[in-house]
Amino acid sequence: VSEVELWNYMICFGIRMSKHTDATEVLLEKKGCAGVITLNRPKVLNTLTLNMIRQIYPQLKKWEQDPETFLIIIKGAGGKAFCAGGDIRVVSEAEKANQKIAPLFFREEYMLNNAIGSCQKPYVALLHGITMGGGVGISVHGQFRVATEKCLFAMPETAIGLFPDVGGGYFLPRLQGKLGYFLALTGFRLKGRDVYRAGIATHFVDSEKLGVLEEDLLALKSPSKEDVAAVLENYHTECKIDRDKSFILEEHLDKINSCFSANTMEQIIENLQQDGSSFALEQLKVINKMSPTSLKITLRQLMEGSSKTLQEVLTMEYRLSQACMRGHDFHEGIRALLIDKDRSPKWKPADLKEVTDEYLNNHFKSLGSNDLKF
C-alpha cells in the first residue's frame, strides 16, 4: 500500500475522531424552498458519527412531511470532502472495550440509508471532494447526485476486513456490466466526471458553480421533481470539464465484464491470471492484499443483492456487519491501517480456500429478533 493509498484509507475511515458529541457536527437549516443538511466536521473530512445520524434522520422525516419543504440538499463543509466515511475506528475501539455501539451505529446508519432511498421529496447530494463508504450511503440512494471535478469516490472496505455496506449490495451490482463488482472487490477510486460516467452520480458540474447552483435551487418556487432536474441538467450541460476525455476504465470494461462475471473469488482470480494483461495483473496484486473473508462476503453480497430490494439488502448487510464485529479481520484491518500503521494485516483465515462455505454462511444467518426491520 503506497503512502497515498494509506492516507486515503485513513481519511476514509476517520482517523481523528472527537470523543464528544457536538450539535454543530451537522447543520440542519431551512433555506428558501429547501431543507439543507451540512456535514460539518471538515477537519476529519466530515466522517459520519452516530450523533450526526441521530440528528439527520428525524429532520429528514420532518422535512419529508412538511408542505413548505420541496427538496432536500446535503453537502459537506470545508471543500475537501463530502463525507469520507463512517466513524469506523471509534466503532472498532468501542467493540474491543466491550462497549456495544456497533449494533446501534450500523442499525441507525442503515435506517438513514433507507430513509434517503425512500424519500418522497427530491434529494440532492452535492458530491464535492472525497466521497467514500458511509458518505456514499447518504448520497447514492437519493434521487440526484451531483459530482464535481474534485469528487473522489471509492468503496475500499475489503482492505480493512469489512465489505461495501450502506446499501452497496444494492447499487453496485446495478452498475453497467460487472463494474460494481470490480469497484467493490478492488476498492478502485473514481475521480471527477468518471463518477458520473460510472452511473454513481446523476449529474456533473464545475465546482466553481456549486454555490450558484445551490442558490438557483433554493430560489425555486414550490418546485416539482422536474423543476429540480431541469436546473441540474442546465448546469450539467454547461460543464465542459473533461467532456472530451473517455471513461478511465473504458478500455478495460470488456476485461472487467469477463473476469468478474465468475461466481466464485477463486474463479475471478483464475480469470485475471489467465488474462495476463498488465491491467489484470495489477488488479490481482490489489485483490491479493485484501481480506479473503471480505472478498468472499462481498462477492456473495453483490450477487444476492442484485435481485433484492434496498430494504432486503440493508437487512442482509446488517447481519454481515454484526458478524464482522464478532470476527477477527475488521479489528485487524483497523489496527494495521489506522492504529499501528504497519500496513501488514494478518488476515484469519489467511487464504481464500480456508474461507469455507460453512464459515461464509454463518455471516449471512438471520439474527432473529435482532434483525434490522423497517
From 35, 76, 86, 133, active-site residue: 86
Tell me which DSSP letter residue 244 carries: T
- Looking at the DSSP assignment, which residues form a beta bridge with residue 76? 39
Domain ranges of the chain: 22-241+252-370
Contacts of 287 (CB under 8 A, 6+ apart): 185, 186, 268, 269, 272, 295
Catalytic annotation present for 86: yes
From 25, 87, 95, 157, active-site residue: 157
Catalytic annotation present for 32: no
pLDDT value of residue 244: 94
Alpha-carbon distances, residue 195 vs 35, 70, 291, 359 (angstroms): 25, 27, 26, 35
Assess contact for 25 and 41: CB atoms under 8 A: yes
pLDDT value of residue 161: 97
Q: How confident is the model over 17-69, as pLDDT tens digits?
A: 444 456 699 999 999 999 999 999 999 999 999 999 999 999 999 999 999 99
From 87, 95, 109, 165, active-site residue: 165
pLDDT value of residue 339: 86
The CATH number of the structural domain formed by 22-241+252-370 is 3.90.226.10
Q: How confident is the model over 55-111, as pLDDT tens digits?
A: 999 999 999 999 999 999 999 999 999 999 998 778 878 777 777 888 999 999 999
From 35, 76, 133, 134, active-site residue: 134
Task: Pull the grid cell for residue 274.
Answer: 489467465
pLDDT value of residue 7: 43
Distance, C-alpha 223 to centroid of its chain:
29
Catalytic annotation present for 157: yes
Q: Which amino acid is at 2?
A: S
Assess contact for 336 and 345: CB atoms under 8 A: yes
Question: Using CA atoms, how far apart are residues 347 and 289, in angstroms rounded to an integer?
Answer: 10
Q: Which of these, 105, 91, 165, lies nearest to 314 by C-alpha position?
A: 165
The C-alpha torsion from 47 through 344 and 95 to 105, rounded to 10°, is: 30
Alpha-carbon distances, residue 81 vs 42, 84, 89, 126, 351 (angstroms): 7, 6, 18, 10, 35
Catalytic annotation present for 134: yes
Task: Pull the grid cell for residue 222.
Answer: 414550490
The model carries a pTM of 0.93
pLDDT value of residue 101: 86
pLDDT value of residue 22: 65
Distance, C-alpha 78 to centroid of its chain:
20
Distance, C-alpha 97 to centroid of its chain:
27
Residue ranges of the chain with per-residue pLDDT less than 70: 1-23
Q: Which of these, 175, 235, 169, 242, lies nearest to 205 by C-alpha position?
A: 235
